[in-house]
Chain A
Amino acid sequence: MSVILKTEKLRVEFTSHEFRQTKKVALVNLDMEVNTGEVFGFLGPNGAGKTTAINVLLGFVPPTRGAAYLFGIDVRQPIARQRIGYLPEMTYYYKFLTAEELLRFYAKIFGLPRMEADHRIDRLLKLVELEPARKRPIKSYSKGMQQRVGLAQALINNPDLLILDEPTSGLDPLGRMKVREIIQRLKNEGKTVFFSSHELGEVETVCDRVAIINQGELKASGRVSDLVAQHHANLEKAFLDIIGYQTQSAS
């Protein structure tokens, strides 16, 4: 099994330019590896550094120290992003476009020939169940539909690696289930999926391995079953133990 995503001693510091210059360390020596074909959950409480790590992987934020690689290529090279798909947390896509036009736009960016683009757009709109709404402007879509069109755009280049940032956040149970089904289907197709989430039940259902970070530091990583066995509890309890949270009853 080859490594598809790797971070080495990744450190990110932000300097605040407000009244007093303060330095905030968002990631501390993060070492992580994701193998081909696995669904990898990236967990942590709010403000733990999950989105910052994803931002580094996508080249939005330069690392202060250390390095990150996708397919063995430094993430600072745009070509590293040729074979990935990315779904950000709640994005409002160009509301004056239809789903079909949006996907055609992204297909053009990848230089897909017209026939190939048509074929992929049809397949993806079916996959995310937006076929009946393909000619409707995105501004008329519900939140769940917008999230699904986002998932379709992330898949337009038939990526080998999918990076999903809290893909089910803000969705109702039905929307969450649909997104989870799509991830499951992608897993069955042999895609590598890296996703951050707060929904531990969902992570337990679909992930092969997880990494848990807190305050920018990697606290644990491994197979979900191993973590659960190690802590003699379900994933939620194991997660709370790992980040050092003491429940009232325990304290």
Chain B
Amino acid sequence: MNTIWALAGVVIKELYRRKDFYVLFVLTALITIAAGMVNFFHDPKIVRYVKDICMLLIWVSALVIALITTARQIPAERESRTIFPLLAKPVTRWQFILGKFLGCWLASGIALLVFYIFFAIITGSREQNWPWLTYLQAIWLQWAMLAMVIALALLGSIISAAPSSTTTICFIAIAGILLVGGHLNTVALNQSQPLQTIFYTIYFLIPHLEWFDIRDRVVYDWGLVSWLDCVLATLYAAAYTGLFLLLTWIGFRRKSLNT
């Protein structure tokens, strides 16, 4: 476990010593503050718009941070050749994958926490309302969703050596799942065979990231998700994360590393 934590520690240090996170955070903060100053449609409940915009920015920023951080990990280790002294130590390839995953996941979690604290301060100062448990559920579910995204990006990074293409492909796939993944079963109903089977197969195979999106509950104060649903969603995320990590390890295990 020492090895995995050590590897994760380096990834976290990388996050806070690079500019990506700060740029995205400042951008989110500026847009949110600017949105908060505008009076949309003279609506007395203007804070809902601010919350909506801020939550959307948090989702996009967290996804970008997670994908960019993850996609470059293995290719950067190979390009700078640091993978060689690392794997020449008693580090197994499974530990290497797990360490990278844990580092990226924790780094994304830290970023997420900073974003949500900012969100809570901005909206709380306007509404004088602090629904901590709702925020906690929103962070947790988003973080669980990011675990699947990170594991998927790690898998992508051993297939494609260029971090930019891994990031782009993963971003398109994830955006696709978030936007249309949940509607594929409805689309399948209106199709003839074999398209119907294909759509259903995709529907049941893809990780349903949209289930982890409880932004509307936060924005419109719809209250808490049942804790049992949270536990089930966590188990679902853990299963997909495990599967993606296993596939990453299988792909990476036999890979020849030529110095």
Contact = CB atoms under 8 A, between A and B. Distances in A.
Interface of A: 14, 51-52, 54-55, 58-62, 78-79, 81-82, 84, 86-97, 101, 105-106, 108-111, 150, 153-154, 157, 163, 165
A64 to B, nearest CB: 11
B85 A154 contact: yes
B80 A91 contact: yes
Nearest to B77: A94
A97 B258 contact: no
Given A55-B259, A108-B6, A93 B89 contact: no
B18 interface: yes
Contacts of A51: 258-259
Contacts, number: 95
B5 interface: yes
Given A58-B84, A81-B90, A105-B6, A96 B258 contact: no
Given A101-B13, A109-B3, A91 B91 contact: no
Interface in B245-259: 254, 256-259
A191 B254 CA distance: 32
B14 interface: yes
A90 B81 CA distance: 8
7 contacts: A51-B258, A60-B87, A60-B258, A91-B82, A97-B13, A105-B9, A108-B3
A96 B16 CA distance: 10
A111 B4 CA distance: 11
Nearest to A154: B85
B17 A88 contact: no
Interface string B72-110: 000000001110111111111000000000000000000
B85 A91 contact: yes
A96 B10 CA distance: 9
Contacts of A81: 88-90
A97 B17 CA distance: 9
Contacts of B81: 88, 90-92
Contacts of B89: 81, 86, 106, 109-110, 157
Contacts of B86: 109
B2 interface: yes
B85 A105 contact: no
Interface string B178-217: 0000000000000000000000000000000000000000
Nearest to B255: A60
Contacts of A157: 89
Given A108-B9, A163-B88, 10 more contacts: A54-B259, A59-B88, A60-B88, A78-B91, A88-B259, A91-B81, A91-B85, A96-B14, A101-B13, A109-B89
Nearest to B254: A62
Given A58-B88, A61-B257, A108 B5 contact: yes
A105 B9 CA distance: 8
B257 A55 contact: yes
